[in-house]
């Protein structure tokens, strides 16, 4: 919110939003505190997997399998768009028409492209787990290429933003688990790189969407405006919602917006593009349909459910974080998911993406399976990071 007042002072802001943000943070912190205190009271020595070269090879193989599977899906995904426009050249010059045709349902995406793409974030999650434990390896690039191709296909930004957050999360945990000195200082550089990196991504995507690759002042101003809408529009949109719409005179939607894509697949309710089809003013000259994680949570579960969500998330977050620092790769995978969920929360809930939900379940299951097969257990406080 302080960043919004500095970078986008003309965007709408309501002090009522401060209350919702602070109460969410408070209950999240209380959840973390409860688990932290209770875990120390019942603290016991635990058994951790001796992550030898055999385990490393198995993790590498499974990551490659899923990465290649998602990459193949991404190629077919791009092909569907190219086929729709008749040629790659026609697709490349289609610009904003790509998203118009996609959202109007005119582009037929085959199931053999959709299904593999569901595993894209699972592949990235496993790649980041491998990076944290063993460092960088060539195959970790594959799942990122999958998301890059998918984002290019639909001229989208969200996937690329999520990837950037996942990389940052991987860097954070690698530094923490290496037990380096001055970790906070070493984190400054990657954190400072986020804003210019995001701006470059927005510049490229906006140029592709509107087929304007010039570097004129008007083009830069337009890109900056779009960047501000995406970055601060969630808070501004929620401010407008709180001031002019909330409370709604309708029953709770019980996950309809928080899990919009899942509800759509299950046939419970149709998902709108971007969760909501309602566009509200976020500044005198801009509208947007993003409302951070707060509007979906409040409309789905009410204020009490909103608080319970924050509290439970805090408990789970602290549990995973503490276990991750002790060497558990299963909870490391879960921590990565939680961190990027929180990082993306100013825009929208990541649970709107079925690929993210799948990664929250599939990756821990795979890591548990790997730990149960041919593993040696030993008592340890921390596993050495190579």
**HEC per residue, the chain:** CHHHHHHCCCCCCCHHHHHHHHHHHHHHHHHHHHHHHHHHHCCCCCEEECCCHHHHHHHHHHHHHHHHHHHHHHHHHHHHHHHHHCCHHHHHCCCCHHHHHHHCCCCCCCHHHHHHHCCHHHHHHHHHHHHHHHCCCHHHHHHHHHHHHHHHHHCCCHHHHHHHHHHHHHHHHHHHHCCCCCHHHHHHHHHHHHHHHHHHHHHHHHHHHHCCCCCCHHHHHHHHHHHHHHHHHHHHHHHHHHHHCCCCCCCCCCCCCCCHHHHHHCCCCCCECCECCCCEEEECCEEECCCCCHHHHHHHHHHHHHHHHHHHHHHHHHHHHHHHHCCCHHHHHHHHHHHHHHHHCCCCCHHHCHHHHHHHHHHHHHHHHHHHCCCCEEECCCCCCC
pTM above 0.75, yes or no: yes
Render pLDDT for 70-117 as a digit per residue (tens, 0 to 9): 999 999 999 999 999 999 999 999 988 998 898 888 998 999 999 999
Render pLDDT for 132-189 as a digit per residue (tens, 0 to 9): 999 999 999 999 999 999 999 998 888 888 999 999 999 989 988 887 677 777 778 8
Weakest mean pLDDT among 55-69, 172-186, 327-341: 172-186
Provide the pLDDT confidence category of residue 374 given band limits of 50, 70 and 90: low
Give the residue extent of every domain in the chain: 2-376
């Amino acid at each position: 919110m302080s960043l919004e007042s500095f970078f986008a002072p003309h965007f709408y802001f309501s002090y009522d939003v401060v209350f919702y943000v602070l109460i969410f943070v408070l209950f999240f912190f209380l959840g973390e505190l409860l688990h932290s205190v209770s875990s120390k009271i019942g603290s016991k020595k635990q058994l951790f997997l001796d992550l030898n070269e055999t385990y490393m090879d198995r993790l590498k193989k499974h990551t490659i399998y899923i990465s290649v599977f998602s990459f193949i899906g991404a190629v077919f995904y791009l092909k569907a768009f190219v086929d729709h426009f008749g040629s790659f050249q026609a697709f490349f010059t289609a610009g904003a028409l790509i998203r118009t045709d996609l959202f109007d349902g005119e582009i037929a995406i085959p199931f053999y492209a959709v299904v593999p793409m569901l595993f894209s974030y699972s592949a990235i999650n496993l790649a980041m787990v491998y990076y944290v434990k063993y460092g960088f390896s060539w195959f970790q690039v594959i799942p990122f290429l999958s998301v890059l191709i998918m984002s290019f296909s639909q001229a989208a930004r969200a996937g690329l933003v999520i990837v950037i957050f996942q990389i940052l999360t991987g860097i954070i945990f690698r530094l923490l688990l290496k037990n380096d000195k001055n970790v906070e200082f070493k984190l400054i550089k990657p954190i400072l790189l986020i804003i210019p990196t995001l701006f470059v991504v927005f510049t490229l995507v906006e140029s592709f969407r509107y087929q304007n690759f010039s570097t004129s002042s008007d083009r830069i101003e337009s890109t900056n405006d779009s960047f501000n809408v995406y970055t601060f529009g969630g808070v501004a949109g929620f401010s407008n919602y709180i001031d002019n719409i909330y409370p709604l005179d309708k029953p709770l939607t019980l996950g309809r917006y928080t899990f919009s894509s899942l509800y759509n697949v299950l046939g419970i309710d149709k998902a709108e593009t971007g969760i909501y089809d309602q566009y509200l003013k976020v500044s005198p000259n801009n509208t947007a349909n993003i409302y951070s994680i707060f509007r979906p949570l409040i409309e789905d579960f009410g204020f009490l459910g909103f608080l319970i969500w924050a509290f439970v998330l805090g408990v789970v977050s602290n549990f995973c974080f503490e276990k991750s620092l002790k060497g558990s790769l299963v909870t490391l995978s879960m921590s990565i998911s939680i961190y990027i969920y929180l990082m993306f929360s100013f825009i929208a809930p990541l649970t709107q993406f079925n690929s993210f939900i799948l990664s929250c379940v599939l990756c821990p299951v795979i890591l548990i399976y790997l730990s149960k097969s041919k593993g040696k257990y030993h008592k340890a406080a921390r596993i050495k990071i190579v």
